[in-house]
Structure 1
Amino acid sequence: MNATTPPYGTLAIWLLGQESIVVKGDGILLYFDPFVSDDVRSKLGLQRLYEPPLVPADITNAAVSLITHDHEDHLDAGTMKVICYSSPDSLVIAPKYCASTIRGLGFAPHRVFHAHTEEPLSLLGDRLQVWSIPAMHEQFEVDADGEHRYVGYVIRLNGVTLYHAGDTLVYDGLAARLRSACIDVACLPINGRDYYRASRNIAGNMNYREAAELSWEIGADTVIPLHYDTFDWNTEKPGSFVQYVYEQYPEQKCHLLARGERFLYVSSSAFKNENEPRER
């Protein structure tokens, strides 16, 4: 990761499992829902299907951690408390619902930014722009101040716009919001939901068909499926997603990330001057 230097108009993307990905551009490393510790396994007895490609102590390069919500496989205390000290200058963006947990892991207030869904953030000398998008993890949960418990993120970095959905269903207005953002890369959950998982209090997401439909509707250049490979009781076959995209939307680019793979996304602006107008 440290040696990778994506040129303007590109992003490097790594999969760590579940919805945990790393994104790099313009020398900035972003960790979305970093989940590589043994805390969930030790506390809840949940066995991962495979070991993550990193351990928390390896993460000495995080510029920003973006947390979508407070569930243990997204706000992983075992990983975040190490990042706090191993990447001492790193920042955290998370819903206000997560604030007390994050402070308890050692992050000083000046390092933590709330994911206000109506207030975009510009960080690191304006090199990174972040928009928080409401997420509907079975349902919306909003506090008395109108702050969402579940969010996704649209980020603009190195001339590329990426959407990380977090955990969400498709809901009215989501596609229109994302379409207006001109998404280059959409990272979407595909594990779906069903009665039996819901009866065990396992909140669900869009399924692989809905993810494919959403990616096409918003005009995403490339779609990457997430949330299908970590726990055998809450998974999906990613090949089903790829096949559905191919059959229904053969012009839609998609990429299935191998475990630990470095994928280099190249946008249409990659070979243009940074100040030239962007094409779609």
Structure 2
Amino acid sequence: MNMNRHDRKGTALIREVNQTEVPYGTLAIWFIGQESVIIKGDGVTIYIDPYVSDVLDNNGPARSYPAPIVPQDITGATLCLITHEHEDHMDAGTLPIFHKQNSKAPIMAPACCREPLIRMGVGDHQIMVADDRRTTELFSKLNISVIPAAHEQLEQDADGKYRCVGYVLELNGVTLYHAGDTVIYPDLVERLSKIKPDVAMLPINGRDYFRQERGIVGNMNYREAAELAVRIGAETVIPLHYDVFSGNAEKPGYFVDYLYEHFPEQKCHVMARGERYVYVSSLAFLQ
């Protein structure tokens, strides 16, 4: 009974995604939990780190709540972006089904993810390696820049390709930065300050000795995320990575309170599970 009700909700959410029209100067964003989001603009629908299966693996922790959709719901995808190989980002329970149902949608991921993706059944010709040394243009309307991510350190392979990345999307007149999993390092601040993203989506769950002792790799905390958003000139900031696992969580209210106390003019938005949020830039009013 509950699963059928959940399936109907997931089908309705994907129908909403597929039917939403996004005027120039705007982006539609859906929050699926953890760092899983759907981005839509100008006919392009992008899934970032779609983690919507039930568990990490047979021994992994269970989600603290069901995902708003299940893998079988996902249709109409144009592109999938993977930030790194951790199972709650490159989900073996989601990606084989995603690829089967959206076979024309390429998957961009760090080089270390190629072989695992192939083992999941993703065609080699559909895998694009994330390369921070160039900007990729797709569909004649989307530019993707790869930003190295330090989770918790910057790691590169023998070819200089980064193990963890974030993405800057330029689409429909809006620039969006999805950080993936990362702590702050000097080059990150400098690079993003030049971009000044309209929307910055940043992890806030932090890190500490005891989580490291349990093998949990950390991110920037909510104070660092707030300071970063202001430093790089982000017009709006959205917190991520705080809600799926009880042992690696944070309260987004702390993030909001910190901004309100220290940077009351910084715009932010905390997304509800499965919410559609439409970001509207100043360009939307120039048509």
- Give the shorter-chain TM-score range: over 0.9
Q: Which amino acid in structure 2 is aligned with residue 179 of structure 1?
A: S
After TM superposition, the structure 1 = structure 2 runs for residues 143-182 of structure 1, keeping only pairs within 5 Å, are 143-182=157-196
Match for residue 36 of structure 1? 52
Distance 1:130 1:204 in 2: 25
Match for residue 199 of structure 2? 185
Query: TM-score with structure 1 length normalisation?
Result: 0.95
Percent of aligned positions that are identical: 55
**Offset of residue 44 of structure 1:** 2.4
Distance 1:68 1:45 in 2: 20
**Offset of residue 191 of structure 1:** 0.1
Question: Would you say the 8 A contact 1:39–1:77 is kept in 2?
Answer: no
Q: Deviations over 1:216-242 (max 9, x none)?
A: 000000000000000000000000000
Match for residue 23 of structure 1? 39
Q: Which amino acid in structure 1 is aligned with residue 24 of structure 2?
A: Y
After TM superposition, the structure 1 = structure 2 runs for residues 1-280 of structure 1, keeping only pairs within 5 Å, are 1-40=17-56, 42-124=57-139, 126-273=140-287
The list of structure 1 runs, each at least 4 consecutive aligned residues, that deviate by more than 3 angstroms after superposition, is none
Q: Which amino acid in structure 1 is aligned with residue 274 of structure 2?
A: G
Match for residue 276 of structure 1? none
**Offset of residue 88 of structure 1:** 1.5
**Offset of residue 157 of structure 1:** 0.8
Question: Would you say the 8 A contact 2:109–2:129 is kept in 1?
Answer: yes
Question: Would you say the 8 A contact 2:207–2:221 is kept in 1?
Answer: yes
**Offset of residue 141 of structure 1:** 1.1
Question: Would you say the 8 A contact 1:6–1:25 is kept in 2?
Answer: yes
Distance 1:25 1:232 in 2: 33
Distance 1:38 1:230 in 2: 11
> Secondary structure in 2 aligned to 1:256?
coil
Distance 1:55 1:157 in 2: 26
Distance 1:128 1:201 in 2: 37
Distance 1:183 1:120 in 2: 16
**Offset of residue 182 of structure 1:** 2.5
Query: Which structure has the highest helix share of the two?
Result: 2
Question: Would you say the 8 A contact 1:138–1:168 is kept in 2?
Answer: yes
Distance 2:270 2:59 in 1: 29
Question: Would you say the 8 A contact 2:55–2:61 is kept in 1?
Answer: no
Q: Which amino acid in structure 1 is aligned with residue 166 of structure 2?
A: G
- Gaps spanning 5+ residues in structure 2: where? 1-16
Count of residues paired in the alignment? 271
Judged with a 3 Å threshold, the aligned counterparts in structure 2 of structure 1 residues 47 and 39 are, in CA distance, closer, same or farther, namely closer
Q: Which amino acid in structure 1 is aligned with residue 257 of structure 2?
A: Q
| RMSD over equivalenced CA pairs, Å | 0.9
